[in-house]
Chains A and B, each alone.
Chain A
Amino acid sequence: MTLLEVKDLAVEFTTAEGVVRAVRGVDFTVEAGRTLGIVGESGSGKSVTSLAVMGLHRGAAVTGSVRFQGTELIGAPEETVRQLRGRRMAMVFQDALTSLHPYFTIGDQIAEAHRAHFGTGRRAALARAVEVLGDVGIPEPARRAGEYPHQFSGGMRQRAMIALALSCEPDLIIADEPTTALDVTVQAQVLELLMKIQQDRGLGIIMITHDLGVIARVADEVLVMYGGAAAEQAPAETLFSTPRHPYTQGLLDSLPRLDAADGDPLHAIPGSPPSLLSPPAGCAFHPRCARYAAAPEEVRAVCTDGRPPLRLVAEQHRSACLLDPPSAGRTTHQEVTA
């Protein structure tokens, strides 16, 4: 069942220095019981995308279509979106310490969400909070519910955030870098928790991260973003085994390998991320792209001529590189190798 359908989502901010086009046309869908991983570096627009889906941008121009369980959210009245937020689609933020209110107890904060959506009484809402804290594996949940965020450890705080997201039994959870601020062992625990919850409840999850390791662990489908646009989209296994977009290839190449020979240099992608104030013409990646550099003039003209859309290059595998041969069944030609 399709939970979320995003088409051509674009987000623009107007700043003193000009218009920042943080997201420039992104499509994806999320199914119940499946995890979509959105991966990209800082500034790729992945967090902005998730906030746009939740309608949490203020003062930004959001265009395109976001359909959640059939309801169109872009342009919908605020009240409609508000009722969905927290109730049917919930968000888990990166830094639980700053994302939880320092003045209220954890129990209160979780209960508050429940009361806002269901109108439950204080006692019942608090009981629900204790219950969901237990679900996420926090020991002594009743006692913990009366404590403040600063009294929790990092990992527990993140679990508390997840509990908060779960409190109203949503259908979709958007996790924005939920493990970035945590130690590696704790990371693993939190990810496991999310997977278990997904299995138990059939939730759809959007996992946003810059860490390919996390993607490998939890994602069914992956969307790679660069410069505010989609670069590649494929099932996780396919992406890791046969990446088609030069950026994805670069990312995977830059991962240090245990089986590399001594003295092998690390491969970095040359250059730096684009400015979203004045992005490069055409494909945002072309200034750093080896494929572009190697291609002859007439062929590579397409790279600077408008933003390349995601095209099917293999089964269920899309890439936004126009220098990449299309899927079987279309005219094939010499594959341009990097």
Chain B
Amino acid sequence: MIAFLIRRVAGILLTLVVIAAITFAVFYLLPSDPAAQFCGKDCSADRILLVRQQMGLDDPVTVQFGRYLVGIFAGQTLGSGSYAVHCGFPCFGYSYQSAQPVWDLMMDRLPASASLAVGAAFLWLVMGLAAGVVSALRRGTWLDRTLMVGTIGIAAMPVYFTAMVLLYFVVGQLNLIPYPRYIAFGEHPFQWIQNLILPWITLALMSAAMYARMTRNSVIETMAEPFVRTARAKGLRERRVVAKHGLRPALTPVATMLGMDLGGLLAGALITESLFGLPGVGKLFADSLNKADQPVIMGVTLLASFFIVTSNLIVDVVYAWIDPRARLS
């Protein structure tokens, strides 16, 4: 197990470097004038020149990349003299439009995004797995059929549609809760829940539908495997056969899916945050798109990549822990 871990971590580091390189290439090398893009829409020619200097865009590419990479860990000082800005560890860039290091901007928004993500993930796992398992075990009954039809329908609904429908009915017509705005958990736990419940449902619904179907397929497939038949042939009680011999292998694909999905989670969070006006990293990203604040876009991209790579690692480790055969690879 340890050897496996070490191998994986080494691979991850390599991947992270590659990702950093590609991000660098996309933002520094691809555009015709990175400085202009970084500076923003309404920058004067002088200011752009200044930015150019500060970013050191006249230096050779390798130096730039080296500085960029090192800067992530050691911090960077952009430019020199009285216009120098210091970007501490970790330096994910400096937003000229907001006059702040990108990292600070992102960390500021992290709690909201985390709240959204965690709550939604919990909801969709519970709903999806429960629906999937029940459907699989009661295969062919009306319950199974209804659930499956329902999940196809729900999975097809675009996120904004769900959000709007929920807002329209729950807030607009039925007035069950006020229009959501973000309240930190520390401030007021109950209101934290109350305000996040609609975003959670919005983000969770589509994933829950997909997970339900996947779980159902997985459970059905696993229950048809020979080793389940052996368990029955041993004379074990059906409940034990299902729970111990059936569900564990059936749920491993779900674990993998969850890992991959954390990446998609960011994407969905993006839209959900914009729709509900939650001050999260996603909304930061969406706003930066509108304002064309390139450093922030780059910073969030990098953060998201690191996040995904790490979560993939975690998934691999969990998978290897569950399935002994995976430890060989």
Contacts and interface: CB of A to CB of B under 8 A. Distances in A.
Direct A–B touching in the complex (beta carbon < 8 Å)? Answer: yes
A148 B324 contact: yes
Contacts of B323: 102-103
A149 B178 CA distance: 57
A78 B235 CA distance: 10
B235 A84 contact: yes
Interface in A56-72: 56
Interface string A108-123: 0000110011000000
B325 interface: yes
A123 to B, nearest CB: 20
Contacts of B238: 78
A83 B227 CA distance: 19
A98 interface: yes
Interface residues of A, number: 27
Contact of A113 (B235, B322, B324, B325): B235
Contacts of B248: 103
B227 A85 contact: no
Nearest to A54: B233
B226 A95 contact: yes
A128 interface: no
Contact of B227 (A56, A78, A84, A101): A101
Nearest to B252: A103
B143 interface: no
A93 B230 CA distance: 8
B242 to A, nearest CB: 12
B325 A102 contact: yes
Given A93-B229, A95-B226, A150-B324, A102 B236 contact: no
B324 A112 contact: no
B229 A86 contact: no
B226 A98 contact: yes
Given A98-B225, A100-B227, A91 B324 contact: no
B229 A113 contact: no
B235 A85 contact: yes
B232 interface: yes
A7 B4 CA distance: 56
Given A93-B226, A95-B226, A98-B226, A103 B233 contact: no
A87 interface: yes
Nearest to A105: B324
Chain B: interface residue count, which band? Answer: 20 to 34
Contact of A98 (B227, B231, B324): B227
Given A148-B324, A150-B324, A99 B229 contact: yes
A87 B236 CA distance: 10
B216 interface: no
A56 B235 CA distance: 10
A86 B236 CA distance: 8
A112 B241 CA distance: 11
A90 interface: yes
B324 A86 contact: no
Interface in B227-276: 227, 229-238, 240, 245, 248-249
Contact of A91 (B225, B233, B236, B325): B233
Contacts of A267: none
A99 B226 contact: yes
Q: Chain B at the A interface: mostly helix, strand, loop or mixed?
A: helix
Given A99-B226, A102-B249, A150-B324, A90 B236 contact: no
Nearest to A81: B235
A84 B238 CA distance: 14
A26 interface: no
Contacts of B231: 101
A201 interface: no
A103 B235 contact: no
Contact of A86 (B227, B234, B322, B325): B234
Nearest to A98: B226
A164 interface: yes
A101 B226 CA distance: 9
A112 B236 contact: yes
B236 to A, nearest CB: 5
A82 B234 CA distance: 8
Contacts of A86: 233-236
Contacts of A168: 235
Contacts of B325: 102, 148, 150
Interface string B29-54: 00000000000000000000000000
A150 B225 CA distance: 16
A68 B14 CA distance: 63
A180 to B, nearest CB: 14
A97 to B, nearest CB: 9
A164 B230 CA distance: 10
Contacts of A113: 234-236
A116 B237 contact: yes
A102 B234 contact: no
Interface-centre pick from A93, A100, A101 (highest chain B CB count, 10 A): A101
Given A148-B324, A150-B324, A99 B234 contact: no
A146 to B, nearest CB: 11
Interface in A167-221: 168
Contact of A82 (B225, B227, B237): B237
Interface of A: 54, 56, 78, 82-87, 90-91, 93, 95, 98-103, 112-113, 116-117, 148, 150, 164, 168
Given A93-B226, A98-B225, A150-B324, 13 more contacts: A82-B237, A85-B233, A85-B234, A86-B236, A93-B229, A93-B233, A100-B230, A112-B234, A112-B236, A116-B235, A116-B236, A116-B240, A148-B324
11 contacts: A86-B234, A93-B233, A99-B230, A102-B249, A102-B325, A103-B322, A116-B234, A116-B235, A148-B325, A150-B324, A164-B234
